[in-house]
Chain A
Amino acid sequence: MKEINQFPPPSANRREFFKKVGTGFLGTFITVVPVLAGLAVLVDPLRRSSGAANGTKVASLDALEIGGTPMKFPVLKDRIDAWNKTPNVPVGSVYLQRVSETEVRAFNTICPHLGCSVDYRKEHEGYYCPCHDSKFSEEGARGDGSPSPRDLDSLSVEIRDNEVWVEFTNFKTGITSKTPQA
């Protein structure tokens, strides 16, 4: 039989040990689980992607005058925004210019610099971004002294049965290459 007067008593010591381990475990558990769960929710947008671009009907060809000034059209699509699906709403806009009978030029209105929206200005004979004064020609070429790292983002156009269909895509801003947004 073990000596009872031993100090600290071995059984108490063991109890103390389990208490510490238990408290430590429980404390860690109730702290780490909600924090990790919260972080998982926080980074959820990283799992989402905008989906592949597909052709969208933007305008009727008759709306565009041959050799006329560019006109802005909204791009209507179904928008899936978290738990909401909103059919047929503007998800962006394009400038269309009919260069010839069969050729239409299309640009995404988002400035490649930092994502503002460009306007067509007749007096500049080109596009202008009001945020940081980027200028682009009617062909989309970047003007002198523009902070934009690349030309306006052109979009491919298809003319089907007198309708203008545009492959609507948003591109990453602020870089020299025209890379679609993930």
Chain B
Amino acid sequence: MKTLLDWLDDRTGIRSLANEALYEAVPGGARWRYVWGSTLTFTFMIQVITGIFLWMAYSPSSTTAWESVYFIQHEMLGGWLVRGIHHYTAQAMNILLVLHLMQVIIDGAYKAPREVNFWFGMILLMIVMGLSLTGYLLPWDQKGYWATQVATNIMGHTPLVGPAIQKILVGAPNTAITP
């Protein structure tokens, strides 16, 4: 076993990588309130893994989306569990996002020399919120459908560029994709 690990370490440097990830010294000492970024990484990985499995059985179209989600939920072995984990982790992520942002602001972690970190955080925040918005629609149920109708209509109210943004996002001139 050790020989195998030595070989792997020689080829990849995995030990120092793992060491860095697990035992990184935090200036001023580690604090529990620093965990939120890591929890977000963890939940993101959960979403990627469960998302890939759901993706294998999901069928994206207005006539098959709801049916395929029903099939995953009620017919497939363990489907309810994978979908449940994905569903609740998605919601947890939004809460963790707020906690993380609050920690960053309260501790002043957006200040020099960490501005670029903060910008990246803002971009990631928007990506996660975009994923939440689009993921909500995937089951093509009443709640998701009408919530998306409302959200895309709100987008359309942005001065000047609103209607164009809405049209690009909906992908059609007409918002009335009949339920």
Min C-beta distance of A14 to chain B, whole Å: 39
The listed residue (B146, B164, B167, B171) touching A117 by CB distance below 8 A is: B146
Q: Are A45 and B157 neighbours in the complex by a CB distance under 8 Å?
A: no
Size class of the contact patch on chain A: 20 to 34
Is A172 in contact with B156, judged by CB distance below 8 angstroms? yes
Contact with B178, one of A42, A45, A90 (Cβ below 8 angstroms) = A90
Contacts of B164 in A (CB 8 A): 43, 46
Tell whether B172 is near chain A: CB-to-CB under 8 Å.
yes
Which chain B residues (147-179) contact chain A, with CB distance < 8 Å? 149-150, 152-154, 156-157, 163-164, 167-168, 170-176, 178-179
Return A87 CB to nearest CB of chain B, in Å: 14
Would A45 and B149 be within 8 Å (CB), given that A115-B175, A170-B175 are in contact?
no
Smallest CB–CB gap between A29 and chain B, Å?
26
In the complex, A97 has a CB within 8 A of chain B = no
B167 touching A115, Cβ below 8 Å: no
Contact of A116 among B150, B163, B174 (CB under 8 A): B150
Contact yes or no, B156 A50, CB < 8 A: no
Give the CA-CA distance A91 to B177 in the complex, in Å: 7
Residue A131 interfacial (CB < 8 Å): yes
From B146, B150, B152, B173, give the contact of A48 (CB < 8 A): B173
A74 to B150, CA, bound (A): 21
Min CB distance, A50 to chain B, in Å? Answer: 4
Q: How far is the CB of A128 from chain B (nearest CB, A)?
A: 14
CB interface residues, A 115-142, toward B, < 8 Å: 115-117, 131
A181 to B173, CA, bound (A): 8
Q: Which residues of A contact B174 (CB under 8 A)?
A: 50, 91, 170, 181
In whole Å, how far is A95's beta carbon from the nearest beta carbon of chain B?
15
User: Closest residue of chain A to B174, judged by CB?
Assistant: A50
Whether the Cβ atoms of B149 and A49 lie closer than 8 Å is no
Given A115-B149, A131-B146, CB of A170 within 8 Å of CB of B157: no
Please state if A182 and B163 are interface contacts (CB–CB under 8 Å): yes
Whether B178 contacts A91 by the Cβ 8 Å rule is yes
Q: How far does the alpha carbon of A172 sit from the alpha carbon of B149 in the complex, in Å?
A: 12
Q: Is A49 a contact partner of B150 (Cβ separation < 8 A)?
A: no
A157 at the interface (CB under 8 A from B): no
Note all chain A residues with C-beta closer than 8 A to B179: 117
Q: Nearest Cβ in chain A — how far from B148, in angstroms?
A: 10
Residues of A within 8 A of B163 (CB): 172, 182
When the two chains form their complex, are residues B176 and A91 in contact, meaning their CB atoms are under 8 A apart? yes
- Interface pair B178/A50, CB less than 8 Å apart: no
Question: Are B176 and A170 in touch, CB under 8 angstroms?
Answer: yes
Name the distance in Å between A1's Cβ and chain B's nearest Cβ.
55
Interface residues of A (CB under 8 A from B): 42-43, 45-46, 48-50, 74, 81-82, 89-93, 110, 114-117, 131, 170, 172-175, 181-182
The 4 closest A-B CB pairs, nearest first, are: A114-B150, A114-B153, A50-B173, A115-B153
11 extra interface residue pairs, beta carbon distance < 8 Å, beyond A91-B176, A181-B175: A42-B168, A43-B168, A45-B171, A45-B173, A49-B173, A81-B172, A92-B178, A93-B178, A114-B153, A174-B157, A182-B167
